[in-house]
Structure 1
Amino acid sequence: MNSQEHHSRVQPQENPKDWSWLFWPAVPLYPYNKRRTLRREIVKDTIWTFDQLQGILYTIVPIRMTVVKLVAGGLLVYAPVAPTTECVRLVNELVAVHGDVKYIILPTSSGLEHKVFVGPFARRFPSAQVFVAPHQWSFPFNLPLSWLGFPQKRTSLLPEDSAQAPFADEFDYAVLDINLGRGSFVEVAMFHKRSRTLLVTDSVLSVPEEPPTIVQLDPYPLLFHARENGSEVIEDNEANRRKGWQRISLFAIYFRPSALEMAGLGQGFRDVLKAPDRSPKAYFGLFPFRWKENWKESFDALRGNGRPFVAPILQTLILPQAPTQVLNWADKVATWDFGQIISCHFDSLIETDSDQFRQAFAFLENKLSVSEKQSASPSQPLPTEDLKFITELEANLVRRGIATPPKEKV
């Protein structure tokens, strides 16, 4: 039921008015007020993903909503995206066949890039019940959900016991809830039993070798980052699209990968003078990036043949705050017999199993005592040199009192 042959795509219609998203200033990320939506069938007549884009400085990655058909009729929506006219039309095509949107799930507490869409999305589907992860908060202002457009009468906390949820016959879920002092990190992993599919938000991801289809609808960001310097003409071909995507992935995951160098101010201005395009779209010819010859090796190490892994920012700053709690959560999720994962970012389908999911968290086991390491899984760590920038960022935040050191066992 979940084989590749059942995958299908619905290409967006070419109507820019349908891509309009007027609330983009709430989270001012690229592509700003124009968001295209791509629907893909993952499990035939059962699960669909809806991809949009988000990013900074043309470092763009997919952000994803998942819709699941319920046996009793109707749909469950996990992590809504921007309800543009196009997006709502694509959902309503499913509603016409499978029934109304019954449940909308916000599976995170602090992820504004997910939270900001839930209220507007819920208002487009007024019969849906909204369930949110616990300990909701926002930065820089901790606003009540009603101020973010959540319908008060239809919004509830997810029951602590997943057996008490109205969709318990079809889903199990586990809540990871880490107290960070000034906020919390919460992730709700949901297991769709019938299709053996695990839904996650940010906890694990996988990076595809080829650029996702949603990214290729407008390839300019890919081609922008495929260049070696600012004087190089932007050329559209398959190789450059692939190169640009892989470099974007390194940017997005590591922030400053080891294979990247920044041109000096003087060199940057000289490149601007030679740039073939100095329009605002091309950032006036500014292109300070210089990639070392081994950048592809860094990408291959990151991709790891498509294995699921935990993003470095979570590995370094968030999950080490509660290693035992995280591993207990991962152990619970790993008891479910899933064969694929749908994450909210990067690859839309990770064909994997519970063992590989659990191995993604093995980096935390060096935070535990010797007696707790008895069940340790083999680890596939990311290269230390690529983690350097985030490690230094963590040390700086700790020094300034903004973050706290990891809680290690003695």
Structure 2
Amino acid sequence: MPNDFSWPFWFTLPIYPYGRRRTIRKEVVKNTIWTFDQLQGILYVVVPIRMTVVKLDGGGLLIYAPVAPTPECIRLVNELVTEYGDVKYIILPTISGLEHKVFVGPFARCFPKAQIFVAPHQWSFPLNLPLSWLGLPLGRTQILPEDSSQAPFADEFDYAILDAINLGPGSFAEVVFLHKRSHTLLVTDIVISVPDEPPAIVQLDPYPLLFHAKDQAADIVADTQANRRQGWQRISLFALYFRPSVLDIVGLGQLMLNAFKAPERSLKNYFGLFPFKWQPDWQRSFDALRGNGRLFVAPILQTLILNRAPKATIDWAEKVASWDFQWIIPCHFDAPIKSEPHQFRQAFSFLEKQPAVSAGLFESNTYPLPEKDFKLLKEIDVGLQKSGIVPQAKDRV
């Protein structure tokens, strides 16, 4: 039923798919870990947003990075509650990701027995407000202890806090969790892997995929798996680079002329406006980004955030890489990802002047991503620095 997918507070973060959000639950470790995928995006640039649920050894559930608590989502969680016990802990593992923060309060109210733990140094803009004013339940919301051994779930989880990186108006931080028994690392935004095929949650409504599979406004794109794949790969380039080097923007006059030629002109397809023109070799840019499914840090984080604190980030990555894990579940793009600790560590080699390839620690051909695809992101970075909005980037270590 449509009401099953309803998210009435969509206006708190007015992005696609607004007030109607589907949920897909997937068991990734038998009777132990489940992922809950929903969708988010702007201008049909849609990617998964993911919550992870872990069964506790003593009974009950821990939830990492909640998604929108639609009736469907809560019903799927309650099916696990019936079998494995109440939701005991809800984790907000970021301080800057509004797409994660906005759901925690409403989600927590659906499980009144749960304790909420949030990453340290939470902030809000334009004013720093108390957590209770941001919708987090008063009396059962706590800051994650800096020492993970002090957390009530320390027997089953370790965690590492990448502490607040100063970004001027705000800051960036992330907390990754290690579920020891299943050797699974839970991360929010810090690393990703891009699948070649569109994820299942994106395929429930293929319109965004087919929209971006077009080469021009007048195209009528058949709903085939090849076209869905093409749309997804272009969406991935949009989402991670904003404007990759293989994308040209159509001028205003041509844009309007093309719109009049579009076979459909409605709000759904932005009245025929399609300002994008992909170069013939765009596929090579996607292949370089994906790197056969390797683990990497998103270009936006590389260019605008982590380069403000390269040494602290490397030190943190070294700590995480000292753990014993075999799988990584990020909140976006692909999951679960088969990965070893050294592969996690090598994802941060872009912060180093001389990555330790000669020591056999890193696989070859991992970095760098194509420099030309970073052009727009670097222009944004320079502009923000010149205006004094963000601090200067630091040299690689």
Question: Which range, TM-score by smaller chain?
Answer: over 0.9
Preserved contact between residue 165 and residue 305 of structure 2 (Cα < 8 Å): no
Gaps of 5+ in 2: none
Match of 1:400 among 384, 387, 396: 387
Correspondence for 1:335:
322
Question: What's the secondary structure of 1:249's corresponding residue?
Answer: helix
For 1:301-340, list aligned pairs within 5 A.
301-340=288-327
1:245 alignment partner, one of 221, 232, 255:
232
1:28 and 1:271 map into 2 onto residues whose CA distance is: 28
Residue 39 of structure 1 corresponds to: 25
1:350 aligns with 2:298: no
Distance across 2 between alignment mates of 1:295 and 1:62 = 22
* Distance in 1 separating the partners of 2:80 and 2:243: 41
Deviation at 1:374, TM superposition (A): 8.6
1:8 — aligned with what?
A: none
Instruction: Give the secondary structure class of the aligned counterpart of 1:387.
Output: helix
Kindly indicate whether the alpha-carbon contact (under 8 Å) linking 2:218 and 2:261 is maintained by their aligned counterparts in 1. Answer: yes
**Aligned residue runs from structure 1 range 270-309, under 5 A:** 270-309=257-296
User: 1:377: how far off?
Assistant: 4.4
- Other-structure match for 1:166: 152
Counterpart for residue 3 of structure 1: none
Give the residue type in structure 2 aligned to 1:334: A
TM superposition shift of 1:141: 3.6
One-letter identity of the residue aligned with 2:320: V
* Letter of the structure 1 residue corresponding to residue 97 of structure 2: G
Residue aligning to 2:88: 102
Show CA shifts across 1:375-394 (max 9, x none).
98465211101111101110
Q: Which amino acid aligns with 1:56?
A: I
Give 1:320 deviation, angstroms.
1.2
Q: 1:204 aligns with which of 166, 184, 191?
A: 191
Q: Which residue of 1 aligns with 2:162?
A: 176
Distance 1:340-1:360 versus aligned 2 partners, 3 A rule: same
3-state SS of the aligned residue for 2:231?
helix
SS at match of 1:53: strand
| Aligned: 1:67 with 2:53 | yes
CA shift, 1:348, in A, is 1.8
1:212 deviates by 0.3
Question: What is the aligned counterpart of 2:219 among 232, 247, 250?
Answer: 232
Query: Which residue, out of 135, 138, 160, partners 2:124?
Result: 138
For 1:375 and 1:216, locate their aligned partners in 2 and report how far apart those are by CA, in whole Å.
40
Q: Say whether the 8 Å CA contact 2:39–2:46 is kept in structure 1.
A: yes
1:228/1:69 CA distance change after superposition, 3 Å:
same
CA RMSD of aligned residues (A): 1.7
Q: Identity of paired residues, percent?
A: 66
TM-score normalised to structure 2 length: 0.96
Give 1:292 deviation, angstroms.
0.5
Q: List runs of 5+ in structure 1 lacking aligned partners.
A: 1-14
CA shift digits 1:294-332 (9 cap, x unpaired): 110000000001111001111111111111110010000
2:243 counterpart residue number: 256
Name the counterpart of 2:3: 17
Q: Which residue of 1 aligns with 2:68?
A: 82
User: What CA distance in whole angstroms lies between the structure 2 residues aligned with 1:184 and 1:268?
Assistant: 38
Q: TM-score normalised to the size of structure 1?
A: 0.93
* Equivalent residues, number: 393
Partner amino acid, structure 1, of 2:222: E
